[in-house]
Amino acid sequence: MQPHREGFVDAALIPVGLVVVPLTGALLIAATSIGATRRAHALTVITSGINLAAALGALIACSDGGVIEYAYGGWRPPFGIAVRIDGIGALIAALIAGVALAVFIYSPQILRVELPRDEPSFFAMSLLLVAALQGMAVTADLFNLYVFLEIGSLAAYTLVAVGGGVATLASFRYLLIGTVGASFYLLGVAYLFALTGSLNGADIAQALMEVAPSAALVAAVVFLAIGLGLKMAIFPMHGWLPDAYTYAPSAASALIAGLMTKVSALALLRVLYGVIQPAHRSLLLPIGDVIVILGCAGIVVGSLMAVAQRDLKRLLAYSSIAHLGFIALGLGIGNRDAVTGAVFNMVAHGVAKATLFLIVGGMTYRLGSRSVKSLAGLGRSMPLSAAALVIAAFSMIGLPPTAGFTAKWYLIMGCLEADRPDLFAVVVASTLLSAWYFLRLFEAAFFSAEDHSADEPLRAGWELPVSMLAPIAAGAAALIALGLANQTVIVRLIESSALVAGLARGATP
């Protein structure tokens, strides 16, 4: 239980700040503030602030190859449960904390519209989701990951269902498919446990050196991949996503769309390349190929379906499927640039999609509608939101100087290095498609002949309350900042982590 980096941050503080503090916040809200919205909101913002501070501490401690290792209760793995945060884990922890804080600052007004009188319980549930996601991002124990996966999933199902009406149907579908996914993941852990006798990721990786490749090992990897793939909405397991994102309340959509699937992708990355690959690289090649094919299918299906949508949230949902296909593509190719691109895409897409859902929530708040048509004249009636929309859309398409450009760039480099020009073509084609449907939105917002800007808005006053505008603006600013500082992030956090440094450059042999 030696902390890796002594100094200004004691190693125990960071896992506590990341996982236990949001949980405590949820408990406090449930115990003291049901019915007291303002107090619940204050508690939520304070706990997410502490969460963000812990995540920033992790970022600093884990840059340039640093690792935070902590054993709960002092029992060293594999006898106890351990936390292991590397550069990538710290990056995702910061993503979770940052998006959560932004959404929580944004939420009160829109919740008053969509979910009156339930705000405290909503905040408590969201804090549980944040705690679970942080727990998933930092744990080194595969069964512990399952427990946090289920906490987060239950919270997500509920957050979707409080939208009422059709949202309950969407949530049940999500529950069914999501729990099947978690069960498959548990099955994979069971098989790995039967083969090695351990539950700690690094320990299993070591134990697998002595296990010969066998059908059971392949089955274990397949089950783990199916399980996490279901959570990640890889094609063809994406059926739950469009309805869930569309009918959930706006604040919930931003939180779930931005974070839930990315953390599952991180888990898949760690399982495939941290646990299985060190000992059984050849086993992963065919599985990687299948993931690549499914990723491409997701990209194509997501992009094509997005073009046809009239409801903005549904359009964003299908665009999410396409981007999760990108992440799957990067993970499947498996060389250093592709995986770096996939990780950077997790961050870029998380921030961009959350910002976009917040903007759509702002439209619902002010205009009462979220159809593509009601975008008309947005440039005049809601100029700041429209500008943020442009920046976020640029990141989704992959244009400089946003973060999305860097993600796409590394992904393309990975495709070319792996000698797969066909994948390069798929990426380019989907970039053009996403440019098409996003530019259609710009046209509606800025150049439309129709103009709803003179329509009486639902609420008087300036464009949006500051508490709603500030997170939107912060999201857009973060996309540009990440895009400009991408080399710092990539070199110091992603490429310096042992996981990525252990990957080959170029075509996998």
Helical segments of 115-141, H only: 119-138
Interaction mask 433-472, other proteins, x per CB under 8 A:
----------------------------------------
- Name the residue nearer to other proteins (CB basis): 118 or 289: 118
Radius of gyration of the chain (CA): 22
Between 86 and 114, CB nearer to other proteins = 114
Q: In angstroms, what is the minimal distance from the CB of 462 to other proteins?
A: 31
- State which of residues 69, 203, 337, 495 lies at the interface with other proteins (CB under 8 A): 203
Decide whether 255 or 445 has the Cβ nearer to other proteins.
255
Q: Are 341 and 330 in contact (CB under 8 A)?
A: yes
> Which of 82, 348 has the CB closer to other proteins?
82
By three-state DSSP, how is residue 311 classified?
strand
Taking CB under 8 A as the rule, does residue 309 contact other proteins?
A: no
C-beta closer to other proteins: residue 234 or 389:
234
Backbone angles phi, psi at 313, to 5 degrees: -65, -40
Verify binding: residue 216, other proteins, rule CB under 8 A: yes
Question: What count of Cα atoms within 13 Å lies in the side-chain half-sphere of residue 67?
Answer: 13
Q: C-beta of 230: minimal distance to other proteins in Å?
A: 12
For residue 163, the SS3 value is: coil
Residues 470, 392, 406, 325: is their CA dihedral positive or negative? positive
CB of 40 to other proteins, least distance (A): 13
> By C-beta, is 166 or 285 nearer to other proteins?
166
Which residues 10-49 are close enough to bind other proteins by CB under 8 A?
Answer: 23, 26-27, 30
Residue 211 C-beta: closest distance to other proteins, Å: 8
Q: What is the DSSP string of 64-93?
A: GG--EEEEGGGPPTTTS-EEEE-HHHHHHH
What 3-state class would DSSP assign to 139? strand
Stretch that binds other proteins, among 36-44, 211-219, 359-367, 428-436 (CB under 8 A): 211-219
CA 80 and chain centroid, separation: 28
Selected binder of other proteins within 1, 42, 109, 193 (CB under 8 A): 193
Size of the site for other proteins (CB under 8 A): 69
- The residue from 6, 215, 456, 460 that contacts other proteins (CB under 8 A) is 215
Spatial CA neighbour of 506 closest among 421, 416, 407, 406: 416
Q: Does 299 bind other proteins (CB under 8 A)?
A: no
d(CA 136, CA 125): 17
Among residues 48, 144, 434, 508, the one that binds other proteins under rule CB under 8 A: 144
In the complex, minimum distance from the CB of residue 232 to other proteins, in angstroms, rounded to a whole number: 19
> Could you report how far apart the first and last alpha carbons of the chain are, in Å?
37
Binding mask 109-128 vs other proteins (x if CB under 8 A, - otherwise)?
--------xx--xx-xx--x
Q: Is the peptide bond before 383 cis (omega within 30 degrees of 0)?
A: no
Nearer to other proteins, 112 or 505 (CB): 112
Residues 150-179 that bind other proteins (CB under 8 A): 150-151, 154-155, 157-158, 161-162, 164-169, 171-172, 175-176, 179
Please state the length of the chain. 509
Nearest approach in angstroms of CB 89 to other proteins is 17
Out of 43, 103, 205, 207, the only residue in the binding site for other proteins (CB under 8 A) is 207
Closer by beta carbon to other proteins, 214 or else 487: 214
* Both tokens assigned to 224: 């783990």
CB of 51 to other proteins, least distance (A): 16
Which residue number, 167 or 445, has a Cβ lying nearer to other proteins? 167
**Dihedral over Cα of 80, 83, 86, 92: its sign:** positive
Handedness of CA 344, 346, 351, 356 (dihedral sign): positive
List the alpha helices (DSSP H) in 197-280: 201-207, 215-232, 241-247, 250-255, 261-269
| The one segment of 45-53, 197-205, 424-432, 442-450 that binds other proteins by CB under 8 A | 197-205
Specify whether the CB–CB gap between 61 and 9 falls below 8 A: yes
Question: If binding is defined by CB under 8 A, does position 7 make contact with other proteins?
Answer: no
Token pair, residue 44, equals 């939520």
Pair 351, 258: CB distance under 8 Å: yes
**Residues 322, 70: contact at Cβ < 8 Å?**
no
Question: According to CB under 8 A, which residues from 53 to 112 bind other proteins?
Answer: 72-73, 75, 78-81
CA 159: distance to chain centroid? 16
CB of 162 to other proteins, least distance (A): 6
Q: How far is the CB of 478 from other proteins (least distance, A)?
A: 29
Amino acid identity of 263?
Answer: V
66 CB-near residues (< 8 Å, 6+ apart): 4, 5, 86, 87
User: Is residue 3 left, alpha or beta, with left meaning phi > 0 and alpha meaning psi from -120 to 50?
Assistant: beta
Binding residues for other proteins, per CB under 8 A? Answer: 23, 26-27, 30, 72-73, 75, 78-81, 117-118, 121-122, 124-125, 128, 131-132, 135, 143-144, 146-148, 150-151, 154-155, 157-158, 161-162, 164-169, 171-172, 175-176, 179-180, 183, 186-187, 190-191, 193-199, 203, 207, 211, 214-220, 222
